[in-house]
Structure 1
């Protein structure tokens, strides 16, 4: 059975995913001052981070249009899946659902399903990989949907950032109590609630201790680690990502650990030096 997976550009794609021809990106837009950037293959992280650092206003993102998703669904694949960042953080999920409705009005019924990742970044990557794994096993469309929804319910996301300012200024930290003062170099360890909202899991003084604290949180939540693929994404800090991988490998045996660079949207919210984990 032919299938296709559309991941909005907050989700990173591995080299294997890109090479498979099964995956497509629905690009979000990024605004840095007067500059509009499309988060596609042309995204230049170094240039983007430089522009953000020099811009007095906070960068913003805009979700893909319903028409973008509709065009993605219009293909030869019999099963089409979309994976969007958490509906609590973006309009991308609603846009993908609206795109499905538009497609069906225009072309009729088709097996299309939109997954609300309740995560972001590499959380979406792992969900995309899970869809492909289920499809390759020959599961029916309904079986794939059920298996992947169950996977999403069990998935955990964690992150440590140098600054939460972009998230705060763009209203993504609503409902959170005041975050500890940055003057003390306190770095919060953040995660996602089951609903897909951002929550605080802990904090530590300095980034190294915060990363260790994050690893502690990952280990505490892990069940059946040998069957799990863990993904790490980083914004312009490959050594930091490798250090986190090493910390994990010293304490637990996982099926695999993959490391990816953040794309545009994740780079915008994670900021220079941010590390995200999903498992």
Structure 2
């Protein structure tokens, strides 16, 4: 069998991941001197409750090498003949590098099992289509080479977009000037973000949440033909407006997954996201920017 490993930003609840044969290595959230595990010790709802009483704003950290070593060792002990690891973009986190380091730290007797590590150049539900397909193919008995190739091909066709409800959390984690964040919140501006080549890129600011969701739907329209769409939200109901807009341009199912605590800490409550799998690879940078100017 081939073991499938990913990180906790993927958004799969632990019980669901286990039922699919997917091993999740959690990111770490640091509350002053206390380290809690994303998706294990708390989800996004518990995170936001805890933040109300937190004297110091927490921050995230990649998993420890030991966490990956443990994941690899357990899979090998269970009979894995190979392991495929799909993790969030190396431009957003050190998780990819940690996964590599852990492979080198394995005892010699375990290093005979091949471990392939993919930098998804994405995050959260943007990785999910590839992870789910990899798990399906592992259950079907495909080889590590086949599963890796198919996962990379799906990642090349997957596009990740989102809208934030507030700029406050982006300001707190140092990704945006405080004055700009305050001004944006006062004007009720909703930032639209995309993941492009592993980096978070601003695709515009909309003057209301509904306009932001309509704008995202227009961007998704340019990605046709579409194979599948997945929604994500950091708090209950956050994706409702986005779902309604997407239903005007797409008639397929729109499954919804939670955005984990590690991601929610950097985006805040009310964040909605969408992962779109096109039927062919697309380079969307120019059209996203142009569409932003027209509709935001």
Q: Give the structure-1-normalised TM-score.
A: 0.86
Among 197, 201, 221, the alignment partner of 1:219 is 221
- Displacement of 1:106 after TM fit? 5.4
Residue 267 and residue 119 in structure 1: after superposition, are their counterparts in 2 closer, same or farther (change >3 A)?
Answer: same
Cα separation, partners in 2 of 1:148 and 1:172, compared to 1, 3 Å: farther
Residue number in structure 1 paired with 2:60: 61
- 1:155 Cα deviation after fit: 1.3
- Contact preservation (8 Å) 1:230, 1:258: yes
Alignment length, in residue pairs? 269
CA distance in 2, matches of 1:173, 1:197: 15
Deviation at 1:253, TM superposition (A): 3.2
- Within the alignment, does 1:143 sit opposite 2:141 as a pair? no
Q: Pairwise CA RMSD of aligned residues?
A: 2.5
Structure 1 partner of 2:232: 233
Distance across 1 between alignment mates of 2:152 and 2:82: 16
Report if the CA contact (8 A) 2:88-2:119 is conserved.
Answer: yes
Report what 1:267 is aligned to: 264
Measure the CA separation in 2 of the matches of 1:140 and 1:67. Answer: 27
Q: CA 1:184–1:271 in 2, change beyond 3 Å: closer, same or farther?
A: same
CA distance in 2, matches of 1:3, 1:273: 37
Asked if structure 2 preserves the Cα contact closer than 8 Å seen for 1:32 and 1:52, the reply is: no
The 3-state SS of whatever aligns with 1:10 is: helix
Which blocks of at least 5 consecutive residues in structure 2 are unaligned? 277-296
**Are 1:23 and 2:22 matched, yes or no?**
yes
Structure 1 partner of 2:289 = none
1:35-63 CA-to-partner distances (Å, cap 9, x unmatched) read 43221333143332022244354320111
Offset at residue 165 of structure 1 (A): 4.0
1:159 and 2:189 are equivalent in the alignment:
no
Which stretch has the larger CA shift, 58-67 or 240-249? 240-249
Describe how 1:122-141 pairs up with structure 2 within 5 A.
Answer: 122-141=125-144
Q: Is the 8 A contact 2:11 2:124 kept in 1?
A: yes
Please tell me whether the aligned partners of residues 12 and 124 of structure 1 are also in contact (alpha carbons under 8 angstroms).
no
Could you say which residue in structure 2 is the equivalent of 1:201?
203
Deviations 1:41-99 (A, max 9, x none): 33143332022244354320111111211221122222212121111010011001111
Q: Do the aligned partners of 2:130 and 2:152 also contact (CA within 8 Å) in 1?
A: no
Q: 2:251 aligns with which of 237, 250, 253?
A: 253
Structure 1 partner of 2:4? 5
Contact 1:119/1:196, CA 8 A, preserved across alignment = yes
- The separation in 2 between residues aligned to 1:64 and 1:258, in whole angstroms, is 28
- Corresponding residue of 1:188: 191
Provide the rounded CA distance (Å) in 1 between the counterparts of 2:273 and 2:54: 24
Contact 1:202 1:213 survives alignment (8 Å) = no
1:272 to partner: Cα distance: 0.8
CA distance in 2, matches of 1:189, 1:84: 23
SS of 1:181's partner is helix
Q: Is the 8 A contact 1:32 1:51 kept in 2?
A: no
Partner deviation per Cα, 1:164-202 (whole Å, 9 max, x = no partner): 44345435579xxx7773322111211011x21000112
Structure 1 runs not aligned, ≥5 long? none
Distance 1:120 1:49, change over 3 A: same
